[in-house]
Amino acid sequence: MERPNWDEYFMEIALVTQKRSTCLRRQVGAVIVKDKRIMATGYNGAPIGLPHCEEQGGCLRQQLNIPSGQRHELCRALHAEQNAIIQAAYLGQSIAGGTIYCTHQPCVICAKMIINAGIKRIIVKEGYPDELAVKILGEAGLKIEMFDELK
């Protein structure tokens, strides 16, 4: 019997979580794990109860030709990492010392949230054009681990 290792298992769950995304530009999923247990999941999309970009006539950032990795404040959606951290807080789950599995590298805003949430390990499937995020995470002693390099 061939079983996935823990990193493979949790990244698969992040990839399934990504399928719930309502973002028109990039679908992202995240899973926060502590002691080999899932604490929270998240995907990118509009806040609870608010219309998604598709229902609003499209993506504002796309309409304004804003490149990836810039002007996040103009995005209607919360990022997958933000939603996972918020879900953990909402449920009263401590994620300090945990690992976050993301389908894409966190942006600088998510990087700062990850640092302050006490997450100690970041594993991503794909990169993202945000060098400041990498720099800030490095200053905090966190390294982004690329999933494909773990195999």
Q: Which of 39, 98, 109, 104 is nearest to 71 (CA)?
A: 109
**Active site amino acids:** 81
Q: E strand or H helix at 17, and its extent?
A: helix 6-18
CB-CB contact of 106 with 128 (8 Å): yes
Rounded Cα–Cα distance for residues 47 and 34 (Å): 25
